[in-house]
Structure 1
């Protein structure tokens, strides 16, 4: 199953062949079916077919739905939109744009993303520290490459152009984030200023015993009271929110 999970049309086999996606899926299903038939594992085949070989559950089920058994569809959609997509987007930006993380230096990460294969390191030989800054991840095979391994001038120019494009995208992302941060800071300052001035007016009218005025404007504070109540209950929750139904506009992105 571990082999089946990591087979891909862009990943060559041991003999250097690139298999199609349909061929990979057909062979994987046939292999696991023969295994279950040989050992009379009927219910295992039912589970594997329904939960694994009929759909793609690798990252989603192992990393985000490990606490749930047969989750509801709305929960799966919620997890994908709120957790999986944001996680993958953040990881992509850290590796390719902001470069907060170095690219994996070993193709063994296809089956284990936490360790470097010692056998591949031994085959590579002794490397210096700058080697890990020069390695680049590619979108097609070979997935990992370094500038000093490139002999073809066209390939060098193409990779150089890709690097410049990535740097430009990095700058765009940073500029967009800075602009959004500035807008949010202005919004916070505006709302805080509004609340402080409203508080001053409330205290002033209270000191003047102006009860008729407060009864007339009480309805204006109902949305604020509702927001405060929902956030208070949200902070006291004992279970993890399940779907969008467990949130409101006041708690959707509250941290």
Structure 2
């Protein structure tokens, strides 16, 4: 029996990059996965098809985060997707992966960009957790995806780094509050990963080499590197780990 058989997972921002890898890995481990997307429903459906083609279970749900009514719309779509499968709207694993970047240095900061980044990267996870707890079963898992930018000076994207710091503070508070139900809450901290978000930073071989050199392994991370850590935190094996920020940077800064 796979480790997550009978479990239901919701992964935000799961149509590409790290989220896509997480959705595929959790499905491989036996979970029914709700593949959330913001805009590209066609791409999210590709993820669902990849999962079902290999014997897994998944369905796509769309909800644009960072706008009024976003969390309500997401859980409405979740309930509808579960009902379509004849399932009760219960949840075991919530992965807050969706996020936006691009804030620039402090001289580039603007109220509009600040509000947008905090709305998607901080406000949405807070209320996704709040409402998710009403349907999450005991001994569930909350997993937030942060960034090495929250642990090291990253003036190139100051507001983005601030949002990830706030997300980790949220994890700490939630972990203590939900412990009585046997629910754990943890953060995974990626470094430079080969995703669309980092595409502009590795446009040339030289630029890619600079990013790879940050890791002691001399390469950039792959989405699967992060997904495997998430899979551990989603499993029963992680039952004694909570309130932690798990470094998954490949040894940046050692």
Between Structure 1 and Structure 2, whose CA radius of gyration is higher?
1
User: Higher relative contact order at CA 8 Å, sep ≥6: structure 1 or structure 2?
Assistant: 2
TM-score, structure 2 length as denominator?
0.21
Higher strand share: 2
Higher helix share: 1
